[in-house]
Structure 1
Amino acid sequence: MPWYLIVPSALAVLFAAGGTAALRTGWIPPFQRRRVQRPRLFGWAQLVLAAAFAAQTAGYLLEDREARHAAGIVTLLALLCGLILAVAAQLSRENR
């Protein structure tokens, strides 16, 4: 399997696992615990990022050029939404 399929797939699995853990238990990885103020929102951000990387992998597997471009646009927008959610989860409640 080529690396451009393995890397986004692995990232999708890691983000999905982290997002599920954050939503179900409130668990955040140790290196992010100090910054994350709202673990549930951060979990949703990770799930959106997982979906974006899954869409990227699916886009590589498509044969049609227009469908591949559409998957790229969906991936870009999902990554942007996930980034916005992750930043919002790190803001303190006074800064919202």
Structure 2
Amino acid sequence: MAWVVGTGAVLGMLAIVSGIVTLRTGWILPTARRHVTRPHLHGLGALLMGISVALQGLLYFRVLPGVSWEARFFGGNALLLAGLLLITLSQLLPLRPSRDHTDPSGV
């Protein structure tokens, strides 16, 4: 069981790194580039999902002080669902109009 939780914690750390890179540079993984229209929302969603998964692993291995299982369950699920919602919105919202192309007069 420990290797499953450890693997999840490592994947959570990778999601955190991916979210930070997306927020700082706007770079998105090649598999998601075609679908994402708002990189900032995608980065925040990846960050929240990664924090949720990494915290669950750290709490399992007792690296962090213990909290009740209810707080871990509801807190982890809230972070995970918020991240999933942000990633979904980053793919469903339309592109923002560019300021360079909104004025047809060319001024």
TM score, norm. by length of structure 1: 0.84
Superposed CA deviations along residues 17-57 of structure 1, whole A, max 9, x for unmatched, are 11011001100000100000011110000110111012211
Over the aligned positions, Cα root-mean-square deviation in angstroms equals 2.1
Alpha-carbon distance in 1 for matches of 2:71, 2:61: 13
Q: Which amino acid aligns with 1:85?
A: L
Show the counterpart of 1:43: 43
Alpha-carbon distance in 1 for matches of 2:54, 2:13: 9
Deviation at 1:61, TM superposition (A): 3.4
Show the counterpart of 1:79: 80
Q: Which amino acid aligns with 1:76?
A: N
Deviating beyond 4 angstroms after TM superposition, the runs of 4 or more aligned structure 1 residues are none
> Which consecutive unaligned segments of at least 5 residues does structure 2 have?
96-107
Number of aligned residue pairs: 93
CA contact (8 A) 1:59 1:68 kept: no
Pair 1:68 & 2:98 matched: no
Q: Which amino acid aligns with 1:59?
A: L
Show the counterpart of 1:92: 93
Deviation at 1:75, TM superposition (A): 0.8
Equivalent residue runs for 1:47-58 within 5 Å: 47-58=47-58
Percentage of pairs with the same residue: 33
User: Higher Cα Rg: structure 1 or 2?
Assistant: 2
C-alpha spacing 1:41/1:85, structure 2 compared with 1 (3 Å): same
